[in-house]
Amino acid sequence: MLAIQQLPVLNDNYIYLIHDPESGDTAVVDPAVADPVLKALKQNNWSLKYILNTHHHADHVGGNLFLKEHTACKIVGYAADQKRIPGIDIKLSEGDTLTLGAHRIQVISCAGHTTGHIAFYIADTEALFCGDTLFSLGCGRLFEGTAQQMQQSLKKFAALPLNTKIYCAHEYTAANAQFAYSVEPNNPALLKMIERIKKLRSDHQSTVPSTLAQELASNQFLRTDIIEIKQTLAMQNAPELAIFTELRERKNRF
């Protein structure tokens, strides 16, 4: 079984270390900064084999070159976005795989937040490292992609097993919950999630990961077919893409 260590950095970012105890291989997902990663590697006596970048934003690739220089690791990113991934060595696309020890890491293309965003899915660990595409109770802003692209990306995630743990890259859950409540206040699963979030944050604990089952039951961006949400938006007869687009625009203004 892979060991996953979450490193909180900057204001609200999460870096993830993924370690295979059998092979000794370790990967890091979206190293915004290098020092906390090097410190954790030293404390655990782990050596870094891969950097896995979900997209090119500075708060996801900022530690790439320093880590590569000090660990001789290989940097993995989306082939079509290689010009924006510092130090990229291994260029992967939709459906490609990488191995960490005996564990298979699947690449899922998920444009929307950026045009070159990817996620890393490890089936035998039931883990999805989705960067800034899917958040707990939210989704990423559309900086480069379209609402249609983002919705299609989220539908890919929604088709994964329900037990999949969602390792997103930011602690946005409490703020996302406020917006979710504004559009679906009578959802029992959402109300349960809100209580969980309050408890975790009052204890200074992370709300991440959640599970896909929790997100499907409470994340409005995965629930564009729900009557209550359509009624809140006064869009009862609108198609799902229109619902999604309106939700994303309202979240931008919230």
pLDDT tens for the chain, residues 1 to 254: 899 999 999 999 999 999 999 999 999 999 999 999 999 999 999 999 999 999 999 999 999 999 999 999 999 999 999 999 999 999 999 999 999 999 999 999 999 999 999 999 999 999 999 999 999 999 999 999 999 999 999 999 999 999 999 999 999 999 999 999 999 999 999 999 999 999 999 999 999 999 999 999 999 999 999 999 999 999 999 999 999 999 999 999 99
Pair 28, 52: CB distance under 8 Å: yes
pLDDT for 1: 87
What is each CA distance from 76 to 7, 38, 44, 112, in whole angstroms?
Answer: 19, 18, 23, 20
Spatial distance between the Cα atoms of 26 and 30, rounded to a whole number of angstroms? 13
Q: Which residues of 83-94 are buried (b: 16+ CB within 10 A; e: fewer)?
A: ebbbbbeeebee
Spatial distance between the Cα atoms of 221 and 225, rounded to a whole number of angstroms? 10
Tell the residue number behind the tokens 């965003």, with chain if given.
117
Question: Coil, strand or helix: which one is 115?
Answer: coil
Pair 155, 133: CB distance under 8 Å: no
Residues whose CB is less than 8 angstroms from the CB of residue 79 and which lie 6 or more positions away in sequence, other chains included: 91, 92, 93
Catalytic residues: 55, 57, 59-60, 113, 132, 170
Spatial distance between the Cα atoms of 197 and 225, rounded to a whole number of angstroms? 25
DSSP at 123:
G
Task: Please count the CA atoms within 13 angstroms of the CA of 5 that sit on its side-chain side.
Answer: 19
- What structural domains does the chain harbor? 3-253 (3.60.15.10)
Task: Identify the CA nearest to 226 among candidates 178, 181, 184.
Answer: 184
Q: Backbone phi, then psi, for 180, in 5-degree steps?
A: -55, -40
Q: Is the peptide bond before 209 cis (omega within 30 degrees of 0)?
A: yes
Task: Identify the CA nearest to 172 among candidates 254, 58, 240, 84.
Answer: 254
DSSP at 164:
-
Q: Backbone phi, then psi, for 87, in 5-degree steps?
A: 75, 15
Question: Coil, strand or helix: which one is 233?
Answer: coil
Q: What is the model's pTM?
A: 0.97
CA gyration radius for the chain? 18
DSSP at 222:
G
Question: Coil, strand or helix: which one is 3?
Answer: strand
